[in-house]
Amino acid sequence: MMRLFLRLILALLVMAGPLRAEFAIQEVISPGGIRAWLVEDHGIPFTALEIQFRGGHALDLPGKRGATNLMTALIEEGTGDLDSVAFATARDALAAQFRFDSNVDSVSVSAQFLTENRDQAVDLLRRALAAPRFDDVAIERVRGQVQSILRNDAQDPQAIAGRLFNAQAFGDHPYATDGTGTPESVAALTRDDILAAHRNAIARDRIYVGASGDITAAELGPLLDRLFGELPATGAPLPPQTTLALTGGVTVEPFPGPQSVILFGHDGIPRDDPDFFAATIVNEVLGGGRFGARLMTEVREKRGLTYGIGTYLADYDQADLMLGQMSSSNATTAEAIAVVRSEWARIAAEGITAAELEATKTYLTGSYPLRFDGNSRIARILVGMQMIDLPIDYPATRNAKVEAVTLDDVRRVAARLVQPDALRFVVVGSPEGLESSN
Amino acid sequence: MPLRRLGFLCLNLSLAALPAAADTVSHFTLENGLEVVVIEDHRAPAVTQMVWYRVGAADEPPGKSGIAHFLEHLMFKGTDDLANGEFSDTVEAQGGDDNAFTSWDYTAYFQRIAADRLDLVMRMEADRMRDLQMTADDVTTERAVILEERAQRTDSDPGALLSEQMRAAQYLNHPYGIPIIGWRHEMEQLSQQDALDFYRRYYAPNNAVLIVAGDVTPDQVRDLAEQHYGPLQPSTGLAERVRPAEPPQLAERRLTLVDARASDPYVTRTYMAPERDSGDQADAAALTILAELLGGSGTTSVLAQKLTFESQTAVYASAFYDGTSLDDATFGLYVIPLPGVSLAEAEAAMDAAIAAFLEEGVDPVALDRIKTQIRAADIYARDNVDGLARRYGEALTVGLTIQDVQDWPRVLQAVTADDVIRVARTVLDRRRAVTGWLLPEETKP
């Protein structure tokens, strides 16, 4: 039973980097022109390969919500002469691990395979990616699982809050609705829709690859061509940037239970903004998931109003937000929200102290080398860096950028980023003394 | 595809993941009884320190449920040398992270930090092993936090409530039937004195295991451990960990939870099952493989095949077993029926699948495949040194030894088809089980 709630996942905030001299990221360009970043480490006889196809749920065609999600879930259900069972059997016999996942901005593949049967594992993955069978029987079975998830989400206050928040924030943009789809849209998806989603999402013009482990650059290059050579050259166009339609206020959605789930947020800051590091420090001081953070101190440590609270800068491909989350008993929800509002206003007006700035810098710079920990994590970080267009030498320069932030920078950015009046709270529960404001 | 919300029930390779090769693990004991394990991994300049106490929720005095976990929270409130919150602040100021967790058999504290800061975190962790201090206000506020934690993690989750009820039914007499977080009415009464009594009795070097994993050498760790933990006095009040034993189960136990917040109904059953014992892990290994065969894969396992492929019964079916505990564990089954299939039908199909499995025996190809995956899991597990540290900490606080941990891969590989069927016949007996149904509303089952 963890003492802290799990820290909110930082969407694309890649901060990892090595400080070790012998640690080096290599850029590998395959003979066929596919690029990957690689960290070689021959200590353990396996390779972690992390692949992202940019696009994700946002590529769903009109009326086909959930197609990309369902398509991704079906990639492991067979290819060529291998049906679902034969594919799983072949994969397990190689002791390879493939995970296919999708989110608003990408379809991802996480693969781990042993050095001793690398070629066979890569061949199996190649076949799955390029030509999934999409058997009707597999479609129906997996569709049933997705429908079960949707029924679960409809009863999950966390999921309900997320859907309400996104609907208010994103207007007509694909981000406004859940990429899993609705019971109706998922029920209506045909095999042709799934094939179209596959063509749109899985293409060579949007591949990002990170690799780490027991493989050399010379081996990785040809592997990339084998793995991706059969994919179409281009996929569907990416959706446009969106501006947030969010307004300040409170939305209450009634739900039974002892607590309310509270999501809150407003506009964020782009990852490539020159003030991004100052904004990162503002967010850490206000709502980093750590005990020293102001919200954790004020809402949990001083008042006991929640088990955990955190904020984060959510940088999606087409939108940027600053988001936060907590749960509180129905009787204390209004008080917890008032404390958040008050801390929001305080940091916007006053910035942070010199001591907070120094402590946050030592945390951010000190934790930086600890994140390059293991082949799987390194491969994920390498692909994340490429997705947000960081230079390959970023790890060597990143801490200096954190160190360069001044108290004035923080004050200026806090005043711009943190907007008490723009804050929208979405509350799912039965809070006492709290009603929707508009 | 895995169902997201079932992560806590899904068995996969991680369950069978194996310890690091013996040559990277060292082990020694200080004079005051502190056991030390060092796991070397020099790939990144980081280190994890974990202190595991051989005390958990199943060691609580009667009427004080939740005190082990409450004390875990209060351990961050300060010592004679550290102010409230200073422990975590200091770790974070160095770029590290720290946290803690409580189970029925153990309570553990850990920090992950740059390898050259090991001295600092050892000094602080040793300090709070014997010198904890807190104010009455801190205790009152933190009690509100654990009540919020219970509200968030248990009272807001129908599935968590059902499994709490099922454990209470499973263990009539053994304290595994009491939730780690505690029963709300007892949590509300927990006091500073309760916490300090528990602390003084159980938090001592002769009741702890120190695990240091990462970019360190055994010699470095020994020097630092002797310097910081060596001077601590052992506790004298420790008794052997003998918990009240279960009486024989004479009647099948069944319960139904109706909760409007539930979505898909499901049926789950847990059978009392033996745990891993030191020097005697064969049955637990056979049960581990049985769980993989029955429900380890959403595609190829027996339950998946019979309930989601060969018949249109279930959205999802799985089996689970974790034998790493001090006393008797449980073996579980879990089925979410397809819409239109009742829980009674789903349960009947589950029982029929088990009966057919016992009749047909183990598919030797499937057994080989699972053993291959377990061998590979040994390699993949070495990528996560924190995971290895947890594996050793868990084992050493539930009565196993380093040797048991290192034997486990061989014990798993030695399991035969006959072993699997033998333990399945013994354990999968409804007269020694609890069956739970979760329903969103009172309906005809």
Contacts of B372 in chain A (CB under 8 A): 92-93, 95
Same domain, residue pair A47 and A170: yes
Range of the domain at A156: 31-228
Look at the alpha carbons of B211, B214, B218, B221 in this order and tell me if their dihedral is positive or negative: negative
| CB neighbourhood size of A296 (10 A) | 24
A373 in a structural domain:
no
Mean pLDDT of A24-48: 95
User: What is the total count of domains within chain A?
Assistant: 2
In the prediction, which pLDDT does B23 show? 60
B16 three-class SS: helix
Report the alpha-carbon distance of residue B104 to residue A118 in Å, rounded: 41
Same domain, residue pair A310 and A419: yes
CB B388 within 8 A of CB B231: no
Q: What is the CATH number of the domain that holds A179?
A: 3.30.830.10
Same domain, residue pair A67 and A174: yes
- State yes or no: pLDDT of B161 exceeds 60: yes
Interface with chain A: mutation pick from B13, B41, B43, B72, highest number of A CBs within 10 Å:
B43
Shortest CA gap A413–chain B (Å): 23
A239 in a structural domain:
no
Q: 3-state DSSP helix/strand/coil percent for chain B, to nearest 5?
A: 45, 20, 35
Residue B373 and residue A155: Cβ atoms within 8 Å? no
Same domain, residue pair A70 and A107: yes
- Quickly state the pLDDT bin for A240 (edges 50, 70, 90): confident
> Nearest-CA neighbor of B86 among B55, B144, B131?
B131
Same domain, residue pair A275 and A423: yes
A113 in a structural domain:
yes
In the prediction, which pLDDT does B5 show? 31
Contacts of A375 in chain B (CB under 8 A): 383
Same domain, residue pair A184 and A110: yes
Same domain, residue pair A122 and A253: no
In the prediction, which pLDDT does B21 show? 52
Residue B232: DSSP 8-state: P
Determine the longest span between alpha carbons in chain B, in angstroms. 67
Which among B72, B92, B264 is the nearest to A290, CB-wise?
B92
Same domain, residue pair A330 and A363: yes
Look up residue A36 and give its two tokens.
Answer: 């990957």
| CB neighbourhood size of A55 (10 A) | 26
Same domain, residue pair A306 and A421: yes
- Quickly state the pLDDT bin for A373 (edges 50, 70, 90): confident
Looking at A195, A228, A261, the residue that finishes a domain is A228
- State yes or no: pLDDT of B20 exceeds 50: no
Same domain, residue pair A296 and A164: no
- Quickly state the pLDDT bin for B443 (edges 50, 70, 90): low
Residue B117: DSSP 8-state: G
CB A349 within 8 A of CB A421: no
Residue B6: DSSP 8-state: G
Looking at A197, A228, A259, the residue that finishes a domain is A228
A200 in a structural domain:
yes
Mean pLDDT of A178-207: 97
Mean pLDDT of A163-190: 96
* CA angle, residues B383, B385, B389, in degrees to nearest 5: 145
A244 in a structural domain:
no
pLDDT in tens, B32-66: 999 999 999 998 889 999 999 999 999 999 999 99
Mean pLDDT of A391-411: 95
In the prediction, which pLDDT does A369 show? 86
In the prediction, which pLDDT does A21 show? 37
Report the alpha-carbon distance of residue A158 to residue A257 in Å, rounded: 12
Q: What Cα–Cα distance (Å) separates residue A285 from each residue in A353, A365, A395, A399?
A: 10, 15, 23, 17
How far from chain centre, in Å, is Cα A175? 13
Of these residues, B40, B60, B72, B394, which one is catalytic?
B72
Looking at A167, A193, A228, the residue that finishes a domain is A228
pLDDT in tens, B57-113: 999 999 999 999 999 999 999 999 999 999 999 999 899 999 999 999 999 999 999
- State yes or no: pLDDT of B3 exceeds 90: no
B347 tagged catalytic: no
Mean pLDDT of B414-429: 98
- State yes or no: pLDDT of B442 exceeds 80: no
Question: What ipTM does the predicted assembly reach?
Answer: 0.90
Contacts of B158 (CB under 8 A, 6+ apart): B257, B259, B261, B262, B438
Looking at the DSSP bridge assignments, the partners of residue B412 are none
A242 in a structural domain:
no
B128 touches A: beta carbon within 8 Å: no
- State yes or no: pLDDT of B6 exceeds 70: no
What is the percent of chain B with per-residue pLDDT over 70, rounded to a whole number? 94
- State yes or no: pLDDT of B445 exceeds 80: no
Same domain, residue pair A126 and A265: no
A302 touches B: beta carbon within 8 Å: yes
A293 in a structural domain:
yes
In the prediction, which pLDDT does A3 show? 41
**Across all residues in chain A, what is the average pLDDT?**
93
pLDDT in tens, A115-139: 999 999 999 999 999 999 999 999 9
pLDDT in tens, B383-405: 999 999 999 999 999 999 999 99
A424 in a structural domain:
yes
- State yes or no: pLDDT of B183 exceeds 50: yes
Determine the longest span between alpha carbons in chain A, in angstroms. 65
Residue keyed to tokens 């595809």? B1
Same domain, residue pair A190 and A278: no
Report the alpha-carbon distance of residue A410 to residue A206 in Å, rounded: 35
Shortest CA gap A228–chain B (Å): 23
DSSP letters for B364-430: HHHHHHHHHHHHHHHHHHTT-HHHHHHHHHHHHTTT--HHHHHHHHHHHHT--HHHHHHHHHHH--G
Look up residue A122 and give its two tokens.
Answer: 């890569």
